[in-house]
């Protein structure tokens, strides 16, 4: 994280992030993640319908759904939603100028 400096705590001697995420930014992060997941799901459903000519499986674990179709939809949906949430979270963090708490050494 170039340009971000950490303060050294006088009590513990450990580095602390310059600015921790507050409750407002956590809420903004959660809302952005949910919105991104919703939009990505709609986009993937629309794209699936246009490409395959049929609706995506409502229940991929249903035996009536072909295994290849169920796997393709599951992988596409999982990766797409995860990527959208990640990008939304990073955008919120970047816009708010927040340094995420780092795990202890």
| pLDDT value at residue 45 | 96
* Length of the chain, in residues: 105
Categorize the per-residue pLDDT at 103 as very low, low, confident or very high, splitting at 50, 70 and 90: low
How far apart, in whole angstroms, are the C-alpha atoms of residue 34 and residue 5?
31
Closest of 8, 30, 13 to residue 21, by C-alpha = 30
Q: What is the pLDDT of residues 52-83, one digit of tens each?
A: 999 999 888 888 999 999 999 999 999 999 99
| pLDDT value at residue 18 | 45
Which pTM does this prediction carry?
0.67
- Give the DSSP letter of residue 2: T
């Amino acid at each position: 994280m170039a340009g971000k400096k950490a303060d050294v705590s006088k009590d513990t001697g450990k580095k602390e992030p310059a600015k921790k995420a507050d409750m407002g930014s956590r809420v903004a992060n959660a809302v952005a993640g949910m919105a991104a997941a919703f939009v990505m799901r709609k986009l993937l459903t629309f794209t699936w319908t246009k490409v395959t000519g049929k609706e995506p499986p409502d229940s991929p674990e249903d035996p009536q759904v072909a295994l290849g179709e169920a796997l393709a939809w599951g992988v596409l949906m999982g990766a797409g939603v995860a990527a959208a949430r990640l990008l939304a979270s990073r955008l919120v963090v970047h816009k708010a100028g927040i340094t995420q708490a780092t795990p202890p050494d």
